[in-house]
Amino acid sequence: MQGRNPEASTQSSSGQRLAVVLACLLLLAGCGPAARRSTPLPTVMAAQELPDTAYRLDDARSELRLLVYRDGPLARLGHNHVLLGQQLDGALVLGQPGRPARFEVRLPVAALRVDEPTARAAAGPDFDSVPSAADIDGTRRHLLGPTQLDAERYPLLRVDGTLETAAGASVAHAHLELRGQSTALDLPVTITLDADHSVTVSGAFKLRQTTLGLVPYSVALGALQVRDEVEISFRLVGQAPVAAVAPPSKKQ
């Protein structure tokens, strides 16, 4: 993990390009539609005079996708799994040039969808087996149960962080909270401004369950188990700006 130096990043040519993009996004703020939700916007972290612009996540176009693989000597007796989260709530907050963009994402873990046929078909040939309804129900119950995500005690997956560009690449400095444990991650992302004035942040990476404090599922003394490494992809689509987010007042 590389050291972070936001001041040096904003001085690079790639940082300047990101600053221009953010400036354009702010100029477009007056053209967005009226707010559709009354959910409070995330706290602004930068104490500056100029307001920031918030893009509320579009849950119809945003998604989190996890590919979970079988492992062990008896792996052929199990299935690979696709987990899909599309009830994402939160916002992308874009600041004035020179200030980092920020994001906040929330997902109820109980809303994760397991092994939908269309999701499995899109995941490729490693997912061409057909789990039965009983298989899917069992996978879901185990996933949300106390030994895994423990949805009853920890109902939300939370991800917060900042975005910066350095050396020609954009990086999300994220904090992922799951089961009460926070994990710091640096993730490569792509940031795009869409024709409808929405903004998209997308990326893909691999992550070990044990890094998050989870114990991969295993039966028959490990003869059939779930691979520790999970493939994760995400797409966060922020609707056209709905409001300027005032920075917090300075303490007297």
For residues 137-151, one letter each, b for 16 or more C-beta atoms within 10 angstroms of the residue's C-beta and e for the rest, the string is eebbeebbeeebbbb
How far apart, in whole angstroms, are the C-alpha atoms of residue 178 and residue 213? 9
6-33+50-245 CATH: 2.40.128.110
Residue 212 has a CB neighbour count (10 Å cut-off) of: 18
Q: Higher confidence at residue 220 or residue 161?
A: 161
pLDDT confidence band for 243 (50 / 70 / 90): low
Q: What integer is the mean pLDDT of 155-165?
A: 93
Identify the weakest region by mean pLDDT among 90-94, 104-108, 243-247: 243-247
pLDDT surpasses 90 at 144: yes
pLDDT tens digits for range 119-132 = 999 999 999 999 99
Structural contact between residues 113 and 83, judged by C-beta atoms closer than 8 angstroms? yes
Contacts of 136 (CB under 8 A, 6+ apart): 114, 115
pLDDT confidence band for 167 (50 / 70 / 90): confident
pTM of the full predicted structure? 0.73
Q: What integer is the mean pLDDT of 15-43?
A: 39
pLDDT confidence band for 142 (50 / 70 / 90): very high
Q: Higher confidence at residue 218 or residue 191?
A: 191
Which amino acid appears at position 145 of this protein?
A: G
Which amino acid appears at position 242 of this protein?
A: V
Distance between the two ends of the chain, CA-based, in angstroms? 37
Q: How confident is the model at residue 100, as a pLDDT?
A: 81
pLDDT surpasses 70 at 12: no
